[in-house]
């Protein structure tokens, strides 16, 4: 499945949301759009980087829209490992 990365600026996530995303990634939860959170990087200033598995860019954007999270750029990536 393709892998995507996106970046969010100024997105201050509450601890409950971080815990939910972490647990869903550990459990391998796939949403209704076929998107699975692989990793989430963040800092308290609101810089967030998501790495996701998904069928395509549209599914990744729909995943974010369903969460109410604005998503500007979505980049398909390939692993070097």
Distance CA 70, CA 66 (A): 10
Q: Going edge to edge, which strands form the sheet with 36-42?
A: 36-42, 48-53, 3-8, 74-77
Q: Is the C-alpha dihedral spanning 22, 18, 68, 76 positive or negative?
A: negative
Based on DSSP, count helices (H) and strands (E) in the chain, helices before strands.
Answer: 2, 4
CATH 3.30.70.3090 assigned to domain 3-77? The reply is yes
pLDDT of residue 80 exceeding 80, the answer is no
pLDDT in tens, 9-22: 888 888 898 888 88
pLDDT in tens, 11-61: 888 889 888 888 998 999 999 999 999 999 989 898 999 999 999 999 999
What are the structural domain ranges in the chain? 3-77
Confidence of residue 71 (pLDDT cuts 50, 70, 90): confident
**Mode of pairing for the β-strands spanning 3-8 and 74-77:** antiparallel
Please compute the mean of the pLDDT values over residues 4-13 and round it to a whole number: 90
């Amino acid at each position: 499945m393709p892998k995507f990365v996106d970046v969010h600026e100024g997105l201050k996530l509450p601890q409950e949301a971080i815990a939910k995303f972490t647990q869903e990634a550990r459990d391998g939860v796939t949403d209704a759009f076929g998107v699975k959170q692989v990793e989430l990087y963040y800092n308290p200033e609101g810089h967030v980087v998501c790495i996701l598995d998904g069928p395509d860019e549209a599914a990744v954007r729909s995943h974010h829209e369903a969460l109410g999270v604005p998503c500007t750029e979505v980049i398909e990536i390939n692993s070097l490992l």
